[in-house]
Copies of this chain bind each other. A is one copy, B any other.
Amino acid sequence: MAEKFEIVTKALQKMLEEKKYAALRDILLVMYPNDIAELFRDVEEEKIPLLFRLLPKELAAETFVEMEPEDQELLIRSFSDNELKEVVDELYVDDAAALVEEMPANVVKRILKQADPEMRRSINQILRYPENSAGSLMTTEYVSLRPEMTVEEAILRIRRQGIDKETIYTCYVTARDRTLLGLVTVKDLLLEQDDERKIEDIMLTNLISVNTLTDQEDVAKTLTKYDFLALPVVDGEGRMVGIVTFDDAMDVLEDETTEDMALMGGVTPSEKTYLRSSAFELFKNRIPWLMLLMVSATFTGLIITAFEGALAAQVALTAFIPMLMGTGGNSGSQSSVTVIRSLSLDELKFSDIGVVLWKELRTSILCGIALGVVCFVKIWLIDRMLMGNDSITLMVDAVVCLTLAVTVVCAKLVGCSLPMLAKALKLDPAVMASPFITTIVDALSLVVYFLFAQALLGV
Contacts and interface: CB of A to CB of B under 8 A. Distances in A.
A246 interface: yes
Interface residues of A, number: 121
A345 B56 CA distance: 29
Interface string A113-134: 0000000000000000000000
Contacts of A69: none
B169 A186 contact: yes
State the number of copies, please. 2
Interface stretch (A16-24, A89-97, A274-282): A274-282
B352 A305 contact: no
Interface string A383-423: 10001010000000000000010001000000000000000
Contacts of A345: 254, 258, 273
A32 interface: yes
B283 A304 contact: no
A312 interface: yes
A435 to B, nearest CB: 5
Contacts of A371: 287, 290-291, 294
Contact of A304 (B277, B322, B347, B352): B322
Contact of A327 (B169, B293, B340): B293
B305 A337 contact: no
Interface in A212-243: 218, 222, 224-227, 229
Which of A266, A312, A349 is packed against the most chain B CB atoms within 10 Å? Answer: A266
Nearest to A280: B366
Which of A163, A226, A334 is packed against the most chain B CB atoms within 10 Å? Answer: A334
A338 B262 contact: yes
A168 B218 CA distance: 28
Contact of A289 (B32, B289, B320, B330): B330
A432 to B, nearest CB: 13
B367 A275 contact: no
Contacts of A150: none
A163 B186 contact: no
B435 A298 contact: no
A259 to B, nearest CB: 10
Interface stretch (A47-55, A80-88, A102-110, A355-363): A355-363
B327 A290 contact: yes
Interface string A315-330: 1101111110111011
A383 B301 contact: yes
A458 to B, nearest CB: 20
Interface string A181-216: 000001100110100000000000110100000000
A338 B270 CA distance: 11
Contacts of A7: none
B347 A274 contact: yes
A439 B439 CA distance: 16
17 contacts: A162-B190, A162-B191, A168-B187, A168-B190, A169-B169, A266-B337, A273-B345, A274-B348, A280-B366, A282-B359, A282-B360, A286-B334, A289-B334, A291-B370, A305-B319, A322-B325, A333-B434
Given A265-B333, A286-B334, A290-B331, 8 more contacts: A1-B218, A2-B349, A162-B187, A261-B340, A262-B338, A291-B374, A294-B404, A308-B318
Interface of A: 1-2, 30-32, 34, 155, 158-159, 162-163, 168-169, 186-187, 190-191, 193, 205-206, 208, 218, 222, 224-227, 229, 246-247, 250, 254, 257-258, 260-262, 264-267, 273-275, 277, 279-280, 282-283, 286-287, 289-291, 293-295, 297-298, 300-302, 304-305, 308, 311-312, 315-316, 318-323, 325-327, 329-331, 333-334, 336-342, 345-349, 352, 355-356, 359-360, 362-363, 366-367, 370-371, 374-375, 378, 382-383, 387, 389, 404, 408, 434-435, 438-439, 442, 446
